[in-house]
A and B are shown apart, each in its own frame.
Chain A
Amino acid sequence: MSGARPAILALADGTVFRGGSFGAEGETAGEVVFNTSMTGYQEILTDPSYRGQLVCMTYTEIGNVGINPEDVESRRPFVDGFIVREYWAEPSNWRSRESLGDYLARCGIVGIGGIDTRALVRRLRTSGAQTGVISTADLDAERLVRKAREHPTLVGRDLVREVTCAAPYDWHQGLWKLDGGYQTVADAGRFVVAYDYGIKWNILRNLASAGCRVRVVPAATPAEDVLDMRPDGVFLSNGPGDPDAVDYAIDNVAKLVGKKPLLGICLGHQILGLALGGKTYNLKFGHHGGNQPVMDLTTRKVEITAQNHGFAVDVDSLKGLAELTHVNLNDRTVEGLRVPAQRAFSVQYHPEASPGPHDANYLFQRFMLLIDTGEM
């Protein structure tokens, strides 16, 4: 990053990395997490689940494919800061329209490059997720460490209200194709209401392509209002932060359980778990990446999944409340649960991928089957 303006990343534990700035200049703080996906930084940047976080990519060459108008997961980038080993400003890809740095600068997101990201990851792995500050404005390392310590962690914070939509809207865009981009899906037979806790658009695209008319509603929409819309199924989306902090969502979902077929993904899965009476906890450094092996306990098949979560549902807390359907083969954490009697199921990982492997998109078909037949 020679030539770039200096920038510092300081962690709450006192570790300091000096690098160069790219994207916007300024100062930003958040929980520092790492993502192991080798592709898909644009989708990661625009995933609202990263609200409150400074994301470090473990792959080293970032920026190669630039930014294009298509690979977006929401209306704007949501990460609070971006950390890379090597930022590349001259993209090469036939769909690229803009460099990553220009995009981040335009969107006011502070990036730091040129640091030993592997050392950072090893630090997070051993001492756990922690808060950090990236700054180009203040280069006093000690002061930045203090700021990092003073910055609140994610535990107990409701970040959902910061990212959810302001008003309901309908969704018609289907999945992306190499020849023709996104398809517009004509209104289909099923009607699904999707709670937006920070929803990724590819979930909506998957629902649309699977044959659903989708209405997206704000996170705090009362369950009664949703039931009044007479949906065939209700979807609980992904989103940022601590599920315990979104008590209003947990209460609403508790009212919906058993009334409508339910599918939850990521935060939606955790909220369902809590609504069923389970517990959640904070993982040491979370799962963020596109290579996590998950076993579907019904078929015994392994799927490679995209994941992005720092909290997880406690498996013991589910006993007698829900059935464990999917398990993470790396650390045996809960990846999926279901309550057949209540027509509800959920997964911790991201079957919509984007970025990541498409192994798990059968789950959208499973949801359609549930809506159509009540079977799962």
Chain B
Amino acid sequence: MPKRDDLKTILIVGAGPIVIGQACEFDYSGTQACKALKEEGYRVVLVNSNPATIMTDPEFADRTYVEPITPEVVEKIIAAERPDALLPTVGGQTGLNLALALAERGALERYGVELIGASVEAIRKAEDRDLFKEIMTSIGLDLPRSGWATTDLAAMEVMKRVGLPAIVRPSRTLGGTGGGIAETPREFAEVVRWGLASSPISQVLIEESIAGWKEFELEVMRDRADNVVIICSIENFDPMGVHTGDSITVAPAQTLTDKEYQIMRQAALAIIRAIGVDTGGSNIQFAVHPRTGRLVVIEMNPRVSRSSALASKATGFPIAKIAAKLAVGYTLDEIPNDITRETPASFEPTIDYVVTKIPRFTFEKFRQAKDVLGPQMKSVGEAMAIGRTFRESLQKAIRSLEVDRYGFEPEGSEALSRADLEAKLRTPNARRLWYLGDAYRRGLTTEEVSALTGIDPWFLENVRRIIAEEDGIAADSGPLDAGRLRAWKRMGFSDRRLAELRGESEAEIRARRVALGVRAVYKTVDTCGAEFAAHTPYLYSTYEGEDESGLLGARGKRKVMILGGGPNRIGQGIEFDYCCVHAAFALREDGFETLMVNCNPETVSTDYDTSDKLFFEPLTLEDVLEIVHRENPEGVIVQFGGQTPLKLAVPLEQAGVKILGTSPDSIDRAEDRERFEQVLAKLDLLRPVNGLARSAAEAVAVAERIGYPVLVRPSYVLGGRAMEIVYRREDLERYMREAVRVSPEHPVLIDDFLEEAIEVDVDAVADGEDVVVGGVMEHIERAGVHSGDSACSLPPKSIPAAVQDEIRRQTVALARELGVVGLMNVQFAVKESVVYILEVNPRASRTVPFVSKATGRPLAKIAARVMVGRKLRALGVTGEIIPKHVSVKEAVFPFLKFPGVDTLLGPEMKSTGEVMGIDGSFGMSFAKAQIGAGTVLPLSGTVFVSVLDADKPATVAIARRLAACGFSLLATDGTAAHLRRAGLRVERVNKVREGSPHIVDALESGAIALVINTPEGAAASLDSFSIRRTALERQLPYFTTVAGAEAAAEGIEMLQRGALSVRALQDYHSAASPGSSV
């Protein structure tokens, strides 16, 4: 069937901000869908509040709305653009929920919008667990015993039938938020209460626990002629009980015979048909009993999912792109397979390698959170690796994770008792993989380890064999020969791990390996096991005979390699992938052959058509040098992928690799404290008074010299890790004792903390001569909140023009002095109109995509061009673009996923993603950003205020504005008194410790519409913690800084004044841009 020509305009819904459970895989899928539909000649309208996405680049859609993804707002977009159809299946759960909400409010019918990809009915059948169960039973499929409940009492009834242990899953939450396993009746009651609170419809599903069963996933696609194919099978290394997003997963399935696999395949076909997903992809999860083979259906996602992204990268089959084409009426046999060109998409990919994905966790960011994995997803990113065997792919995946692991290094459990080690194995946790290694070193058998972990013996035997090989490597004392070395490399051992095991240096191992000619070769991911010729150069390394990379790619073109950012984590996310993708696009447009290196399967950068050659490889020195050896590019771009590639700049340069753009020496001048002092002295620029301490005593001395409060951080970690603001000597001593390991090699940095200073971020691009400021952003939250966690406004909201100009002058001076070629980000603090420099990073920053969306100027593309020798002037990039509209960026936090964690902001970054609000005024843009981030600013009701003494004067004005807007005020004792003295009418409420009825009771009863609560110092009292936590769990808007509250008041005023309106990015840009030629 050909494509439908009754459709002209199609609305695509993005997934919004990056949150746990919904990461950049939906930028990947949305971008593919946009490209596919535009390619087919449709007019594409896109809505997504996340500015750091490629899909929101204005060229990917005809009309791009960076607006909150709420039914109200999207209905306005529908009214303005009158799309014929809405594709909700490439925007994650957000897309599906929005489609359902639009259908429920009648908006689709009102404007004659057809849902394509999945109907409301199919979405309901898949999402409503009761209905799903009914349908599965009707087609003869087995499920775990279950029942659902909307009250505690009903839950107990269900428990009697289902038995314990039982799993509790709240309805309609992302990534299983609020779920848990209960082993005892008491635990059960607790988990149910939490689950009911998390569910937007107060409903939980209680299921027979099938923890310990083998877990599988199938990626299925169907077209409107009812052709169904399986794209990929995935087997979880971690058995049932750990959310699949938190599990190590392997493709293809490893431990099923064909008979068993075909039963699962038949079931998947029956399910997608019964649910009625007419076109597109679905992800179906199954569990298999390890001893009887009983197969039960777990769930189905009637849309492109995280697993679909993984399956796409694992097989080379572009699921989202094909799903988009199927949605407009094509059938699978009408769509060519891009990779082979000659065969159609109606086939099942076969792979001749093993893919391993390992999730990346950041428990260290949330000190109160327990490192225990369960049905609620907690990982923030993932790394994928490809090898010819599981052992090779597993070891490659480990070093792709960037957790300072290069293999199965001991986890240090020698000191643990056997019982403690067994507990580490029994309870899933982020380090369990390495505890497995320890268990084998201690002599546990596979049978024992399997009994403790439930992990299939096949996976465990592979780990055991790696550990056994390590013993052999360590015992082997003779000179290395090519045969043994090759055998080890084929098992995936890194040079670094081999070096550790043999007591040599990594450089020595590498030199010997190179001398022996043991080098990596590159094989193609081609969907067909080499049955057909592949045209897309998607490659991975292995140690075998034949190299295929030389056969692919363009000849005679200048070659540039771009290093990606690796797994997502807090502090390094999609923003850096965005920059890498832009570099690839710009250089390809300019006729270069681009080589992309990355190991994050969620990203656009690892799409096979983003670059000319994709190397799906770990970002370690070894792996990058091997590619350089094979490809010999003229230079490497390290400044776009964040810290991961930046760390490689110096070692790569030392190995003779040309680093494009700003030189590693200049980067070092900006990062090395002493050298940077010299730069500042030369330019006569200010930074906060600071010092270095190599012991606790020295730290106290430095702090007393500077004067409290001070900002302390270890010198050897980046991204705000373990950074703290210290107000008193006791706190400093505690910090030195508990938070850092100080030594002469690893001193602690101590800075004067500029209280109440306004922070400013500037992004600029320079070509070694000229410097152009990309954007000046004023942070909303005051100094002390990590720049990644602070909201910001472009252009600045309150900074006087003269100060802004001074900031620009300093930016230009720094860029010139450092010889920046490419991007640079500077963080300033402004206090009493004095400008201080906090940090200079001569590389891409987290704000580059935001600035690009706000100004319409593609900074990363410009920077890439400059780095290969072009000049800003020649590119027509001269003056700064200062838009008339206001863009506000707001951070999005994962607190809800971590029970017991405080929501306070500080110098350590905690946000996972960001949204952008764009409008004519600061207030409205801020309000949009809040809505986009899930905080719906109320227009009426009661505001609860409880602030620090220091914040009380500033709070009066905010309270007055809110009162003028018609809000009633409620405050705890001190705050109430202060506000009353200012002449405001305030009702008083008990603090928790003053007894019921207290503020938490009021929050839980739903009497409060907005919370303003500023905490005292670093150590928040239990009282204010319970307020913030309750507000979070009740999903009430809450502000923990005065500046945030003030911005909220302004937003509320704007929202009251007039309804929120929508406008496409293309309209903003045509009004703002002077017509840059880039």
> Is A290 among interface residues, defined by CB-CB distance under 8 A?
yes
**Contact stretch, chosen from A54-62, A227-235, A339-347:** A54-62
Min CB distance, A254 to chain B, in Å? 35
Pick the contact of A301 from B225, B229, B353 — CB < 8 Å?
B225
Q: Give Cα A107–Cα B819 distance, bound, in whole angstroms.
A: 72
Q: Measured between C-beta atoms, what is the minimum distance from A115 to chain B in Å?
A: 8
Whether A116 lies near B546 (C-beta < 8 A) is yes
Q: How far is the CB of A253 from chain B (nearest CB, A)?
A: 30
Q: Give chain A nearest CB distance to B337 CB in angstroms.
A: 9
* Inter-subunit contact B352/A58 (CB<8 Å): yes
The number of residues on chain A lying at the interface, defined by a beta carbon within 8 Å of a beta carbon of chain B, is 56
Within 287-302 of A, Cβ neighbours of B (below 8 Å) are at: 289-293, 295, 300-302
Check A317 for interface membership: any CB of B closer than 8 A: no
Within 8 A of A (CB), among B220-237: 225-227, 229-230, 233
Given A42-B257, A59-B529, A71-B259, A118:B458 Cβ within 8 A: no
A90 on the B face (CB < 8 A): yes
* CB-based contact B265/A125 at 8 Å: no
Inter-subunit contact A60/B255 (CB<8 Å): no
Chain A residue nearest to B261 in the complex (CB): A39
Pick the contact of A295: B226, B266, B333 (CB < 8 A): B333
Known: A116-B544, A119-B546. A36 touches B346 (CB 8 A): no
Q: Which residues of A contact B528 (CB under 8 A)?
A: 36, 291
Using known A-B contacts A116-B545, A293-B344, A293-B347, determine if residue A94 contacts B291 with beta carbons closer than 8 Å: yes
B392 to chain A, nearest CB (A): 9
Min C-beta distance of B348 to chain A, whole Å: 4
| Cβ contact of A329, chosen from B259, B344, B523, cutoff 8 A | B344
Q: Does A282 lie at the interface of the complex (its beta carbon under 8 Å from any beta carbon of B)?
A: no
Once bound together, how far apart are the Cα atoms of A282 and B730, in whole Å?
85
B258, A40: Cβ atoms closer than 8 Å = yes
Q: A39-B256, A90-B457, A90-B461 are in contact. Are A329 and B346 (CB under 8 A)?
A: yes
Alpha-carbon distance A321/B454, docked complex (angstroms): 60
A65 to B288, CA, bound (A): 15
Q: Which residues of A contact B254 (CB under 8 A)?
A: 61, 64
Q: Which residues of A contact B854 (CB under 8 A)?
A: none
Is the C-beta of A68 less than 8 angstroms from some C-beta in chain B? Answer: yes
**Is residue A319 within 8 Å, beta carbon to beta carbon, of the partner chain?**
no
A39 cross-chain contacts in B, Cβ below 8 A: 253, 256-258, 261-262
Contacts A94-B292, A291-B347; is A121 near B262 (CB within 8 Å)? no
Asked if A118 and B523 sit within 8 Å, CB to CB, the answer is yes
In the bound complex, how far is the Cα of B352 from the Cα of A121, in angstroms? 11
Residue A122 at the chain B interface, CB threshold 8 Å: yes
| Shortest Cβ distance from residue A179 to the other chain B in the assembled complex, whole angstroms | 8
Interface residues on B, range: 35 or more
Instruction: State whether the Cβ of B69 lies closer than 8 Å to any Cβ in chain A.
Output: no
Query: At the interface, yes or no: B389 with Cβ under 8 Å from chain A?
Result: yes
Whether A117 touches B531, Cβ cut-off 8 Å, given contacts A40-B258, A329-B343, is no
- B351 touches which one: A17, A38, A357 (CB < 8 A)? A38
- A119 contacts B349, CB within 8 Å? no
A95 at the interface (CB under 8 A from B): yes
Whether A364 sits at the interface, judged by CB under 8 Å, is no
CB pair B333–A93 under 8 Å, yes or no, is no
Shortest CB distance B411–A (Å) = 24
Complex alpha-carbon distance, A88 and B354, angstroms: 14
A356 at the interface (CB under 8 A from B): yes
Q: For the complex, would chain A's binding face be called helix, strand, loop or mixed by DSSP majority?
A: loop
Residues of A within 8 A of B181 (CB): none
Minimum CB distance partner of B389 in chain A: A86
**Complex CA distance for A43 and B260, rounded to whole angstroms:** 13
The reply to whether A119 and B545 contact each other, CB–CB distance below 8 Å, is yes
- Contact A122/B546 with A291-B348, A304-B347 known, Cβ cut-off 8 Å: yes
The A-contacting residues of B in range 634-656, CB under 8 angstroms, are none
Interface residues of A in 34-91 (CB under 8 A from B): 34, 36-40, 42-43, 58-61, 64-65, 68, 70-71, 85-86, 88, 90-91
On chain B, the residues within 8 Å of A167 by CB distance are none
Complex CA distance for A122 and B532, rounded to whole angstroms: 9
Q: Are A70 and B458 in contact (CB under 8 A)?
A: no
Given A116-B545, A118-B523: A302 and B333 interface contact (C-beta under 8 Å): yes
Q: Which of B387-407 contact A (CB under 8 A)?
A: 388-390
**A122–B293 touching, CB < 8 Å:** no
A17 and B544 alpha carbons, distance in the complex (Å):
11
Let me know if B255 and A93 touch, CB within 8 A: yes
Flag whether B290 is at the interface (Cβ < 8 A). Answer: yes
Query: With an 8 A cutoff between CB atoms, is B470 at the interface?
Result: no
A43, B388: Cβ atoms under 8 Å? no
B789 at the interface (CB under 8 A from A): no
Residues of A within 8 A of B263 (CB): 178
The answer to whether B456 and A92 have CB atoms under 8 Å apart is: yes
Contacts known (A58-B529, A60-B354, A121-B531); A93 close to B257, Cβ less than 8 A: yes
Q: Please indicate which of the listed interface residues A37, A38, A65, A292 has the most CB atoms of chain B within 10 Å of its own CB.
A: A38
Q: Mark B273-298, 1 if CB is under 8 A from A, else 0.
A: 00000000000000000111111000
A358 within 8 A of B: yes
Chain A contacts with B in 8-44, Cβ cutoff 8 A: 17, 34, 36-40, 42-43
B698 contacts partner chain A, Cβ-Cβ < 8 Å: no
User: Would A302 and B227 count as touching, CB distance under 8 A?
Assistant: yes
* Closest residue of B by beta carbon distance from A91: B458
Nearest neighbor of B450 in chain A, beta-carbon distance: A92
The answer to whether the Cβ of B350 comes within 8 Å of any Cβ in the partner chain is yes
With A60-B354, A329-B343 already in contact, the answer to whether A301 and B227 are too (CB < 8 A) is yes
Residue B252 is within 8 A (CB to CB) of chain A in the complex: yes
Closest chain A residue, CB of each to CB of B345 = A293
Q: Which residues of A contact B354 (CB under 8 A)?
A: 60-61
Q: Does A2 contact B (CB under 8 A)?
A: yes
Kindly list chain B residues whose C-beta atoms are within 8 Å of the C-beta of A209: none
Q: Does A353 interact with chain B (Cβ within 8 Å)?
A: yes
For residue B80, CB closer than 8 A to chain A, the reply is no
Interface flag for A373 (CB, 8 Å): no
Whether B545 lies near A38 (C-beta < 8 A) is no
Cβ of A136 under 8 Å from chain B: no
Nearest to A92 among chain B residues (CB) is B458
Interface flag for A130 (CB, 8 Å)? no
Question: With an 8 A cutoff between CB atoms, is A355 at the interface?
Answer: yes
By the criterion CB–CB under 8 Å, are B293 and A178 in contact?
yes
In B474-524, which residues have CB < 8 Å from any A CB?
A: 484, 487, 523
Q: Residue A308 at the B interface, CB < 8 A?
A: no
- The answer to whether B265 touches A357 (Cβ under 8 A) is yes
Residues on B with C-beta less than 8 A from A354 are: 258-259
How far, in angstroms, from A191 to B833 measured CA to CA in the complex? Answer: 98
B657-674 interface with A by 8 A CB criterion? none
Distance to closest chain B CB from A359 (angstroms): 8
Q: Which among A119, A121, A292, A356 has the highest number of chain B CB atoms within 10 Å?
A: A119
Q: Tell me the minimal C-beta distance from A184 to chain B in angstroms.
A: 18
Chain B proximity of A50: nearest CB distance (Å): 15
Decide yes or no whether B554 CB sits under 8 A from chain A: no
Question: When the two chains form their complex, are residues B258 and A43 in contact, meaning their CB atoms are under 8 A apart?
Answer: yes
Residue in chain B with minimal CB distance to A287: B531
CA distance A200 to B370 in the complex (A): 55
- Additional 18 contacts, C-beta under 8 A, given A86-B388, A179-B294: A59-B529, A61-B254, A65-B256, A85-B352, A92-B457, A92-B458, A116-B544, A116-B546, A117-B352, A119-B544, A125-B531, A178-B293, A178-B295, A291-B350, A304-B230, A304-B347, A329-B333, A356-B262
* 23 examples of A-B residue contacts, CB within 8 angstroms: A34-B529, A36-B528, A36-B529, A38-B233, A43-B258, A59-B352, A60-B388, A64-B255, A65-B256, A71-B258, A88-B458, A90-B461, A92-B255, A93-B255, A93-B257, A94-B291, A125-B533, A289-B531, A291-B349, A292-B347, A293-B346, A301-B226, A356-B258
Q: Which 8 A-B pairs have the closest CB atoms?
A: A40-B258, A58-B529, A355-B258, A92-B458, A119-B546, A39-B258, A116-B545, A291-B348
- Give the B-binding residues of A (Cβ under 8 A): 2, 17, 34, 36-40, 42-43, 58-61, 64-65, 68, 70-71, 85-86, 88, 90-95, 116-119, 121-122, 125, 176, 178-179, 289-293, 295, 300-302, 304, 329-330, 353-358
